Amino acid sequence: MTDDADLLAGIEALEDKLAQARASITRRFIGQERVVDLSLSALLCGGHGLLVGLPGLGKTRLVETLSVVMGLDSNRVQFTPDLMPADILGSEVLETGADGTRAFKFIPGPIFCQLLMADEINRASPRTQSALLQAMQERQVSVAGEDRPLTPPFHVLATQNPIEQEGTYPLPEAQLDRFLVQIDVPHPDRDTERAILLATTGATEDVAHQVFTAEELIAAQTLLRRMPVGEAVMEQIIDLVRAFRPDDATSSETVRENVAWGPGPRAAQALMLTVRARAMIQGRLAPDSDDIAAMAQPVLTHRMALNFAARARGENLDDLIAATVAQVTRTEAAA
């Protein structure tokens, strides 16, 4: 009983800090509450986020603000076609000491931080993109035959322009799967755009204030994994992920006709974590089916793909996800 009371007290205290964090972030990244919540969810879950949006929508501003509010040491890398893995990971250099002796010294790259912004990640070559794979999954990098751990917490928030494809290298499926969520950044509505103009074109601008420390974020990530998930919610997550696999017996005819490949177990893991984060951000003590419906698109959209025939017919992946979520939800409710 004491453990349950401690968990309840911890979640309630964390909810207050998350409310403060959201308020501080929105002073500089105005509106776009869903984008802010998804970004916070990625950090709360200890994962990485892929921000997809056109230039000028504030993606860089959001990441910079998150680093301040969450108290994280951050670096930014502008990905370009000539960027090399050593430019991110670091390298060994031969150094001559005062006594004339020579020895190799490791010079850490920008990846040795707590929040790495990988700006326009799809502009780098596949060789350079792959330099992030080990770091994103294992929280360490191997340079010159030695494993070098990264300081926890470690997060990657990468940006990508969805329309400009010239001179870019699409991320491979293995790397996309390592992003906990894909966060689509849309154009702001009219009222939000008016507020942005007023807030950013004057003599002064609002600043974000630190709410969390790195240690408090790690504690929040641990607490989130202790949040209870009901049996019905867990079964719905499993049913939903399996419903998008065209080779699964439970998938619909629509999925089998339109989907080239579906999400793997990592998608179910991501849903289990992100539904908890959404519930926590909204001040609830346990996730429900509404959280699954809300998190399905950002968790699944980059972990599956339409086949050629579906793309030729103009089918939309987001519409397919929404329809399948509604179908799974109705089936669970009827059962």
What are 250-286's pLDDT values in tens digits?
889 999 999 999 999 999 999 999 999 999 999 888 9
Look at residue 131 in the predicted model and tell me its pLDDT: 85
Residues lower than pLDDT 70 in the chain: 1-2, 164-167, 331-335
Please give the backbone phi and psi of residue 80, each rounded to the nearest 5 degrees, phi first.
-135, 165
319 found inside a domain = yes
- Given this model, what pLDDT does residue 169 score? 84
Establish if 217 belongs to a structural domain: no
Residue 35 lies in a domain: no
Whether residue 270 is contained in a domain is answered as yes
Q: Is residue 246 part of a domain?
A: yes
Instruction: Report the C-alpha gap between 266 and 130 in whole angstroms.
Output: 19
User: Is 197 inside a domain boundary?
Assistant: no
Residue 237 lies in a domain: yes
pLDDT of residue 2: 61
The answer to whether the predicted template modeling score (pTM) of the entire model surpasses 0.85 is yes
Check which CATH number belongs to the domain holding 303 and give it. Answer: 1.10.8.80
> Per the domain annotation, does 330 fall within a domain?
yes
Domain holding 324, by residue range, is: 227-335
Q: What's the confidence (pLDDT) of residue 257?
A: 93
Nearest to 321, CA basis, from 277, 278, 266, 267: 267
pLDDT value for 332: 63
Q: Into how many domains does the chain fold?
A: 1
State the Cα angle at 207 between 204 and 212, rounded to 5°.
175
